[in-house]
Structure 1
Amino acid sequence: MDRLTGKVALITGAARGQGREMAELFMREGAKAVISADVLDAEDAESSPVTFVKMDVTQDTEWKSTIDAIVAEHGQIDILINNAAIVKYETILETSNELYDKVLDIDLKSIFLGMREVLPHMIEKKSGSIINVSSIWGLAGVPSSYAYQAAKGAILNVSKNVAATYGADGVRCNSLHPGYILSPMNADQAQDINDALIAGTVLGRPGQPIETAYAALFLASDESSYVTGTSLVVDGGYLAP
């Protein structure tokens, strides 16, 4: 229950779903503070120890003001989880410029902005863990969701880039690749897609948000102090065959 004692974490897209599960778990594991940055309102926020702030992850000025406020209040930022994302199901021939830009801004550019803003603080402290949430679709092809897959595939390599560049400064960076997790984000996903994902999963079921949260906890904690530049898959064995 004390795997994150004294640590301060910022998790984007943590008003609900996997991000919310991570935030609540991190507080139970002794974190000094966990801040959820989201454009959505969190349910039951008043009964949660998590700090909920409104932030548009596509705006660098909002990243700066949020991180500056965290450091001013807590004196540190130890963990950044870039979890905010949207998914659209159009193929490349159905993808407009506007849709592509929107998905890439939220799912990928936000990660660039967040890491660029948080890295100086982590480098100064010679310590930090960055976790960028990708997807199994960052590792394998899918016959739809062109823009989403473009972003999720890129997350793997930008995470490796930051790991390779700033490892000597004490900063670790990893990508997390969930499979089909029951979450509000995929609540509108077509049933045939859900059925195919479950059918292709070795464990024969969808994942629960807490199962992704425990993987994030490992990467955020000192238990993974020798883990950086890797891609942790939490998919019930979907990619195993």
Structure 2
Amino acid sequence: MEISLSKKVIAISGGTKGVGKQLALQCAANGAHVVISGRDESSAASIVNAAKDAPGSIEFKKTDLHNVSSIRELFAFVAKKYNKLDGFVNYAGITPAASLTECSESLFDDVFDIDIKAAFFCCQEAVKLMQKSGGGSIILVGSTHHTRGNKDRTAYACAKGALYTLSNHIGKHYAEDKIRCNYLVMGWTPTDGELALRKSQGMSEQELRKEAAKAIPMGRMTEASDIVPAMVYLLSDISSMVTATEFKVNGGELI
């Protein structure tokens, strides 16, 4: 079944790389008008160009997620251009490593600024615009760390746990506005950030994949090609009764 996103307007935070990039391209291929945010103008330009012949389109709005005013400018841009918002995906996030006893105040603040504060204010603007649009779908990209967290991901786990609570809050309290919100638990994925972190720890991508294969019941890492179809489903009208869920795409890593 081909899922149509024709004429839907979708905003993606962190849409210039990794899963966010692949999602943007797929949404445009399925007919959506996509606005991606980020800071890398060069990467954004190549993504916009890659979608030039798609049924939909991709535009870029440079955004500093540390700055709430910049977040509001992103959604004001969407409102001015399209006068509606059908979908928002909060993909942007950082995952620096530090245990409880090693975590500095600055690292804690950086993680919470991006992984929960920015997400909170993006959702605030998205919900307000969706209320005017007659509803919409929000996806908050979570992690298997949100209920426990590895020892070296304390601040990250706390932020992702808060994001899960935010997702449930929106799903319950804004259903009356036809706004859905789902927490997508993304499994262990070889993102640019994950590969860079492991490289700094002296681990190659091949070694990372071998380690992950031992920990994940399905025997391999989660890829963008596993995650994007689930996101497209959640953004589409086919999933109109799916909200306030913990939507797992992680090969059984979190049960």
TM-score class normalised by the smaller sequence: over 0.9
Gaps of 5+ in 2: 52-57
Q: Does residue 94 of the first structure (1) align with residue 102 of the second (2)?
A: yes
Q: What is the one-letter code of the residue matched to 2:95?
A: V
In the other structure, the counterpart of 2:233 is: 218
Q: 2:116 aligns with which of 87, 93, 108?
A: 108
In the other structure, the counterpart of 1:235 is: 250
Q: What is the one-letter code of the residue matched to 1:48?
A: A
Question: 2:100 touches 2:151 (CA, 8 Å); kept in 1?
Answer: no
In 2, Cα distance between equivalents of 1:206 and 1:90: 22
Pairing of 1:53-132 with structure 2 (within 5 A): 53-132=61-140
In the other structure, the counterpart of 1:182 is: 190
SS in structure 1 opposite 2:165?
helix
Q: What is the one-letter code of the residue matched to 2:174?
A: Y
* Higher mean C-alpha displacement, 187-196 vs 65-74: 187-196
In 2, Cα distance between equivalents of 1:203 and 1:65: 42
Measured after TM superposition, the shift of residue 157 of structure 1 is 0.9
Measured after TM superposition, the shift of residue 151 of structure 1 is 0.8
Measured after TM superposition, the shift of residue 189 of structure 1 is 3.5
Measured after TM superposition, the shift of residue 21 of structure 1 is 0.8
SS in structure 2 opposite 1:180?
coil
Percentage identity across aligned positions? Answer: 28
Relative distance call for 1:156 and 1:184 in structure 2 (3 A) is same
Deviations 1:79-138 (A, max 9, x none): 111110111111011101111001110111011110111211111222111110111111
In the other structure, the counterpart of 2:34 is: 34
Question: 1:58 touches 1:113 (CA, 8 Å); kept in 2?
Answer: no
Q: What is the one-letter code of the residue matched to 1:126?
A: G
Deviations 1:144-181 (A, max 9, x none): 11111111111111100111111111110111111111
Give the RMSD, CA atoms, in angstroms: 1.6
Size of the aligned set, in residue pairs, is: 239
Q: What is the one-letter code of the residue matched to 1:171?
A: I
* Higher mean C-alpha displacement, 193-202 vs 98-107: 193-202
Gaps of 5+ in 1: none
Q: Does residue 204 of the first structure (1) align with residue 205 of the second (2)?
A: no
Measured after TM superposition, the shift of residue 46 of structure 1 is 5.1
Q: So what's the TM-score if we normalise by structure 2?
A: 0.89
Measured after TM superposition, the shift of residue 10 of structure 1 is 0.5
In 2, Cα distance between equivalents of 1:150 and 1:72: 35
Q: So what's the TM-score if we normalise by structure 1?
A: 0.93
SS in structure 2 opposite 1:93?
coil
* Higher mean C-alpha displacement, 92-101 vs 61-70: 61-70
